[in-house]
Amino acid sequence: MENTLILSVATFIYGFSALCFIIESVFNKKQFGQLGFFLLVAGLSANFAGFVLRWIESYQMGIGRIPLSNLYESLVFFSISGALIYSVIYKKFSIPVVAAITTTLIFLAMAYAGLSPTADSAITPLIPALRSNWLTVHVITCFFGYAGFAVSFAASVLILFTSNEIKCKNLDELNYKMIIFGFLFLSLGIITGAVWADSAWGRYWSWDPKETWSLITWFVYAIILHARYMKNFKRKTIAWLSIVGFMAVLFTYFGVNFVLAGLHSYA
Amino acid sequence: MNTNKRPGIIEIAGIKLWDFFASLKLTIFLFSFIALASVAGTFLPDRIGIMKYLQDKPVFLVKVFDKMELFDIYYSWWFVLLIIVLGINLLCCSFERLPGVLKIVLKKPLPPSIHKIETFEFKKDFTINKNIDQVKELSKKFLKLKRMKTYMLDSKTNFSCAGDKGRYTRLGVYIAHLGFLFLIAGGVAGTMAGFSGVIDIPENETSSIVTLFKNRGKIDLGFDVTCAKFEIVKYENSHTPKSYQSEIIFNKEKENESNGLVKVNSPLKFSGIKFIQSGYGRVVEGKVKISVFDIMTDEKKGEYQIEQGETIVLPDGKTKFTLFSFRPNFQISGMNLGETFIGFILADNREIPVALPVSTPGFDKHRKGDFYIVPDEFKTKYYTSLQVNKDPGVYIVYSGFLLLSLGIFVSFFTRHSCFYIVVESMENNSSNVFCASNSNKNKSLNQEILSDFHEFLEK
């Protein structure tokens, strides 16, 4: 299938982009940062092209559905959202280490999608329970949220190692912006999921492990947003909480599928 | 009144209690605790599972856990209590902070004095080669361009104005919190006054009994539900089911009959109760033909037409066989036998369970009785499995969803910003301009708008 070919090309481009940002961070070479950004945008274009092609191919196979319904497709979409968000904010927050971590995460997601036997790249028909327009809205909102949290994770990691006050303030602003972006989309993701569950399974909430873990993630970020209004709350504490939040995101995304069983066992 | 009177113990306790419930620390504690309890809930087994595992002989620790309702955390009294306390905390916090916010929201900004401008964090002053009237017109234009509402104060030598926008966005956080309260209220209402269960109806049959989830017994709906037809739609050239659906007829006394189609992803509502297509299976229709063979000679000793639940006497004249049930996918020690009849042999006052898989006719030989039984002919039909839900809180929850999304958007992505201008008339047609900008978030934008204003006047 051609879509998987283009998507593997995108994986390599992202890999080189990450490499450029790492070189920029370590050797402080600005040119590599520019090249890294160029490659990131190129990777995003290839990634998006692969996504659209996969959509078209599914129609040619007579299945006809947006590619957002299994682990492989969700990882591909995660990379699109992550790369898109970082490309948009790059001008305002061009911090080499954050760029390096974010692009590495995007590269890893794509590489995992391409290589892992659990992420099957075949286009299969949707099981009846997933045939709904809510699927599209639900997956898009969730993954925009996850991508925002991924960038905030990158910023938080750097905050822990930064002592420079001005740099730290800038990172904190990026961290906060990505968290509120992620929080809005995670909320919308949970809500659309609940509305979908209500229309498909007749209950908006059933404490299924994936639902519960998305709520746990929501609570962690809610703690961060409220903690900012408390006196004596240090930036580093917020950064730690944001790292915990991203761990919760990862567990919601992968952990639940591999460790706990539930309604979401297909993706 | 004596204002020096020291507050009494009850007043102090009252204030302390209020402070406790209106504190952000409590919010963060509750968030953390509810999150941790939820984590535990996803790892602990459910009650039915663990009791089955321990064969109803729970060990001490399991008994303690059970008393604390740890096998059903999300519906335990303490979890619900935590959520209600979170609701109270949220209400108190709102009442504590709302008056201050309302004061800002309802107050129009005042045109400032030069002295006042000096107090702002983001400010700028410069001299410009334009007379006061020109600057005044341009200032008005600028504020209009920035979509700000303008408030002016005028004198011959001085001109002062203030502009603002987005004052009401400060209420965004309360919209979000109100939404969250709605979610809590709707959730609690649903748990208290609703139910959730399943009803299985074979084609052309009628039922009104719902088996509730989590072993909570059965209830009568008070009206009849008939499955007129069940159908599976498959993908073209494939055996993968695309969708399945049931034609349902509702029959309630004193009301007209109502019918409709329940499909996957498209439930049907009747009398405030939702019916959702959740599964299907096959049941036996009518009589089953079975044959009895001699285990030594493989000789057919008899043929019977029996119904489920019926008992027959085998050819030796004393052993009895009861056909008990039909399972479409019978599992025995991890092996799937497929369509299987289950029955009992009663010989010498001993009851022995018997499995008769349709695909393996000689399976019953393993029982090592005098005879073995083979199911020959039977007809099956579909039954539909419908999930049945009643949730009177769902509309409250949906309002909560709307308010919460709107509130989060408004409180994080819109802002209240003010712009202040004071202009002094100078000699030879020039003016001194003092300006300041302020906002409740995205403060770095203030510097930009001040430079914008300067450029705008210079043009």
Question: Which residues from A are below 8 Å from B278, CB to CB?
Answer: 201-202
Query: Is the pLDDT at B236 greater than 80, yes or no?
Result: no
In this complex, do B74 and A229 lie within 8 Å of one another by their Cβ atoms?
Answer: no
Query: Is the pLDDT at B19 greater than 80, yes or no?
Result: yes
Q: Who wins on pLDDT, B45 or A247? A: A247
Q: Does B24 touch chain A (CB under 8 A)?
A: yes
> pLDDT (tens digit, 9 = 90+) per residue, A4-61?
888 999 999 999 999 999 999 999 888 899 999 999 999 999 999 999 999 999 888 8
User: Under a CB-based contact definition with an 8 Å cutoff, are residues A142 and A81 in contact?
Assistant: no
**Predicted local distance difference test score (pLDDT) of residue A261:** 58
What's the mean pLDDT in B268-286? 87
Please tell me the distance from the alpha carbon of residue B412 to that of residue A184, in angstroms, as a whole number. 9
Q: Which residues pair with B270 in a beta bridge?
A: B273
Please tell me the distance from the alpha carbon of residue A81 to that of residue A48, in angstroms, as a whole number. 10
3-state SS assignment for residue A139: helix
Please tell me the distance from the alpha carbon of residue B162 to that of residue A230, in angstroms, as a whole number. 31
Spatial neighbors of B126 by CB under 8 A, at least 6 apart, are B432, B433, B454
**Predicted local distance difference test score (pLDDT) of residue B56:** 66
Compute the half-sphere exposure of residue B205: CA atoms within 13 Å on the CB side of its CA. 17
The fraction of chain B above a pLDDT of 90, given in percent, is: 40
Residue A3 binned pLDDT confidence (cut-offs 50, 70, 90): confident
**Predicted local distance difference test score (pLDDT) of residue B1:** 46
**Predicted local distance difference test score (pLDDT) of residue B319:** 87
Nearest to B371 by CA among B316, B311, B324, B414: B316
Token pair 């987005």 in the structure block, residue: B166
**Predicted local distance difference test score (pLDDT) of residue A266:** 44
Question: Which residues from B are below 8 Å from A63, CB to CB?
Answer: 235
**Predicted local distance difference test score (pLDDT) of residue A106:** 96
**Predicted local distance difference test score (pLDDT) of residue B5:** 66
- Residue B429, exposed/middle/buried by CB under 10 A (0-12, 13-18, 19+)? exposed
Token pair 């007043």 in the structure block, residue: B11
**Predicted local distance difference test score (pLDDT) of residue B3:** 53
- Nearest chain A residue to B402, by CA: A191
Nearest to A126 by CA among A118, A134, A117: A134
Please count the residue pairs, one from chain A and one from chain B, whose beta carbons lie less than 8 angstroms apart.
108
Token pair 């335990």 in the structure block, residue: B76
Nearest to A140 by CA among A218, A45, A68: A68
**Predicted local distance difference test score (pLDDT) of residue B4:** 60
> pLDDT (tens digit, 9 = 90+) per residue, A179-223?
999 999 999 999 999 999 888 777 899 888 899 999 999 999 999
Instruction: Choose the weakest-confidence range: A163-167, B57-61, B195-199.
Output: B57-61
Q: Does A220 touch chain B (CB under 8 A)?
A: yes
**Predicted local distance difference test score (pLDDT) of residue A267:** 41
Token pair 């000793």 in the structure block, residue: B301
Mean pLDDT of chain A: 89
Question: Which residues from B are below 8 Å from A205, CB to CB?
Answer: 187
* Tokens linked to A116: 């892992």
What's the mean pLDDT in B253-277? 84
Query: Is the pLDDT at A129 greater than 90, yes or no?
Result: no
* Tokens linked to B100: 């201050």
**Predicted local distance difference test score (pLDDT) of residue B75:** 86
User: Under a CB-based contact definition with an 8 Å cutoff, are residues B195 and B214 in contact?
Assistant: no
Q: Who wins on pLDDT, A188 or A167? A: A188
Please tell me the distance from the alpha carbon of residue B152 to that of residue A193, in angstroms, as a whole number. 50
Mean pLDDT of chain B: 88
Nearest to B410 by CA among B166, B180, B181: B166
Query: Is the pLDDT at B33 greater than 90, yes or no?
Result: yes
In this complex, do B408 and A63 lie within 8 Å of one another by their Cβ atoms?
Answer: no
Token pair 């059933």 in the structure block, residue: A206
User: Under a CB-based contact definition with an 8 Å cutoff, are residues B198 and B388 in contact?
Assistant: yes
Test mutation, B23, B24, B42, B274, chain A, max A CBs within 10 A: B42
**Predicted local distance difference test score (pLDDT) of residue B243:** 81
Compute the half-sphere exposure of residue A252: CA atoms within 13 Å on the CB side of its CA. 26
Spatial neighbors of B413 by CB under 8 A, at least 6 apart, are A180, A184
DSSP B43: H
- Nearest chain A residue to B262, by CA: A200
**Predicted local distance difference test score (pLDDT) of residue A263:** 46
User: Under a CB-based contact definition with an 8 Å cutoff, are residues A204 and A197 in contact?
Assistant: yes
- b/e code A165-202 from CB counts within 10 Å (16+ = b): eeebebbbbbbbbbbbbbbbbbbbbbbbbbbbbbbbbb
Instruction: Choose the weakest-confidence range: A66-80, A253-267, B12-26.
Output: A253-267
* 3-state SS track over B360-422: CHHHHHHHCCCEEEEEEEEEEEEEEEEEEEECCCHHHHHHHHHHHHHHHHHHHHCCCEEEEEE
The H or E element containing residue A191 is helix A165-201
- Nearest chain A residue to B187, by CA: A205
> pLDDT (tens digit, 9 = 90+) per residue, B153-190?
877 778 899 999 999 999 999 999 999 999 999 998 98
Name the minimum distance, in Å, from the CA of B409 to any CA of chain A: 7
Spatial neighbors of B362 by CB under 8 A, at least 6 apart, are B372, B374
What's the mean pLDDT in B400-418? 95
User: Under a CB-based contact definition with an 8 Å cutoff, are residues B181 and B400 in contact?
Assistant: yes
The fraction of chain B above a pLDDT of 70, given in percent, is: 97
**Predicted local distance difference test score (pLDDT) of residue B336:** 83
What's the mean pLDDT in B226-233? 90
DSSP B350: E
- Sheet strands (E) in A59-134: none
**Predicted local distance difference test score (pLDDT) of residue A134:** 87
> pLDDT (tens digit, 9 = 90+) per residue, B65-96?
777 788 888 888 999 999 999 999 999 999 98
> pLDDT (tens digit, 9 = 90+) per residue, A132-153?
788 899 999 999 999 999 999 9
In this complex, do B74 and A207 lie within 8 Å of one another by their Cβ atoms?
Answer: yes
Torsional sign, CA A30, A36, A38, A44: negative
